[in-house]
A and B are shown apart, each in its own frame.
Chain A
Amino acid sequence: DIVLTQSPGTLSLSPGERATLSCRASQSISSAYLGWYQQRPGQAPRLLIYDASTRATGIPDRFSGSGSGTDFTLTISRLEPEDFAVYYCQQYDSSPRTFGQGTKVEIK
């Protein structure tokens, strides 16, 4: 199985600041088959990014993804109040599909 390791575990920032979240894979992910999700408390995850850098339908352009191989990044350019949540990366290069353990973005 491909293991995804996210860092940091928690990111404490203020609204308006830039957030940079990391996802590292245990082996190279071909064709950048990596996605990012946002999960707010009590809600299901919401797809933000697929193919490492393509925003899903309706996702604001302050969210961007980058990376290839084993290192991927989700950037939120300017944090809005609704962006404070937990973020997960997920690979679909191979089966089983696997998720990272999550990064919590909290209000500082």
Chain B
Amino acid sequence: QVQLQESGPGLVQPSETLSLTCTVSGGSISSYYWSWLRQSPGKGLEWIAYKYHTGDTNYNPSLKSRAIISLDTSTNQFSLKLNSVTAADTAVYFCASGHFVFNDWGQGTLVTVSS
């Protein structure tokens, strides 16, 4: 079991880029797949992307290529960038381990898109 903690701005301007980081402790980022998910009242739970340290990466097509997930093995962190955000991207964002099921989760961070 690993521990995960999301960090990043809670407020993002429309059309800007949402940037979040997940810090992993209790395990190596090279040992698992890593995912980002989000949850909003309107769309429920939504998987965004996953990545493995070898480069295997997959994105939800619903994000229309706006998302980028990256891993940093030197800091044991992984990140999400989501560009051209709108109010529809307002949600609680979670980082998690796994790419089939999601075993361990961060506590989640609320990101609001608003001017």
Binding site for B on A (CB under 8 A): 33, 35, 37, 43-47, 50, 56-57, 88, 90, 92, 95-102
Query: In the complex the two chains form, is B101's CB within 8 Å of A92's CB?
Result: yes
A92: chain B residues at CB < 8 Å are: 99-101
- Indicate if B78 sits at the interface (CB-CB under 8 A): no
Output the nearest chain B residue to A46 by Cβ-Cβ distance.
B105
Q: Which of the candidate stretches B17-25, B58-66, B82-90 sits at the interface with the other chain?
A: B58-66
A47 touching B100 in the complex, CB below 8 Å, given contacts A95-B58, A96-B61, A96-B62: no
Query: In the complex the two chains form, is B47's CB within 8 Å of A56's CB?
Result: no
Q: How many A-B residue pairs have CB under 8 A?
A: 50
Bound form: Cα–Cα A37–B99 in Å:
15
Bound form: Cα–Cα A71–B19 in Å:
38
Output the nearest chain A residue to B63 by Cβ-Cβ distance.
A96
Query: In the complex the two chains form, is B46's CB within 8 Å of A56's CB?
Result: no
Q: In the assembled complex, how far is the CB of residue B13 from the closest CB belonging to chain A, in whole angstroms?
A: 27
Bound form: Cα–Cα A101–B58 in Å:
23
Q: In the assembled complex, how far is the CB of residue A7 from the closest CB belonging to chain B, in whole angstroms?
A: 15
- Indicate if B34 sits at the interface (CB-CB under 8 A): no
